[in-house]
Amino acid sequence: MDLPTGEIAAYAAAMGVAGAVTGFMAGLFGIGGGAILVPVFYQIFSLFGVEEAVRMHLSVGSSLAVIVPTSLRSCRSHFLRGAVDMKLLRSFVIAVPAGVVAASVTAALISSAGLMAIFSAILFTVGLRLLFNRHDWRIGSNIPGNPGRSMIGFVIGYLSTLIGIGGGILNNTFMTLFGRPIHQAIATSAGVGVLISVPGFLGYIWAGWAVPGLPVASTGYVNWIAVLLVSPITLLIAPLGVSAAHALKKRHLEIAFGIFAVGISFRFLWSLL
């Protein structure tokens, strides 16, 4: 951590830019921004010399902590527009956090490379589905009831927490496969992000408690310097993304989100090679 003042300022500026992009993406796509923050945090922690064994875990945990206020702000903005499916969101109240708890236990056991591989695979699959989406790609016309819905909520919570995203990527896919409009899926995903991020970041604190090699100002796998630099900016920018989401056409949103997901996937795949 012994870096010149100029370099520290440059990293702080990079965090600020990341926060602005994350906030906009959170509102635009209904994601908590983790798909952006995790790779950005990973690179910055690398530049600061954080040990590779904890670098990915720290990136995921810090991302989830940032997603807490971002998801709350984004969800409120979408809710005020009447776009959130509250019935579906209420049905996820137990299932999604249960998946979060299971993922926190897994995070204490899985390697950094394992987390990166899962991150890349999920984003690549979802990105391709959106880029080549066709109207007849539907599993059904109605979202299933329980126990199927609870099982899906558990999986969304589990995988999202494991890779530090707010659940928008997976919930968007789930809802659109069952015929829901992408604007509604995006709005509801912001609420799913709240159900994931709050217990998720607490779980990563638990998973990384007393683990050696963590940088200064870290509580478990959450680094508060990164969180405090990024969170205020994401809160300010998120409503702009919400406005943009409601101004764009459905197919434009799908293509933009698909390109974004595939690009991030290749970036992490490159890191594994």
Low-confidence spans in the chain with pLDDT less than 70: 1-8, 11, 26, 29-33, 134-137, 250
Q: How far apart are CA 176 and CA 249, in angstroms?
A: 15
- Contact yes or no for 203/101 (Cβ under 8 A): yes
Query: Cβ contacts of residue 51 below 8 Å, gap of 6+?
Result: 213
The pLDDT assigned to 101 comes to 95
**pTM of this prediction?**
0.79
The pLDDT assigned to 7 comes to 63
Are β-strands 218-219 and 222-223 bridged in parallel, bridged antiparallel, or unpaired? antiparallel
Alpha helices (H) in the chain, listed in sequence order: 5-29, 34-47, 52-80, 86-91, 95-107, 112-131, 148-163, 168-177, 182-207, 224-247, 250-272
The pLDDT assigned to 95 comes to 95
The pLDDT assigned to 163 comes to 82
pLDDT tens track for 70-88: 788 778 888 888 888 899 9
Domain boundaries, the chain: 5-272
pLDDT tens track for 229-238: 888 887 788 7
Question: How does 35-52 read in b/e, with b if 16+ C-beta sit within 10 Å?
Answer: bbbbbbbbbbbeebebee
Query: Cβ contacts of residue 19 below 8 Å, gap of 6+?
Result: 66, 229, 230, 231, 232, 233, 234, 237
The pLDDT assigned to 141 comes to 75
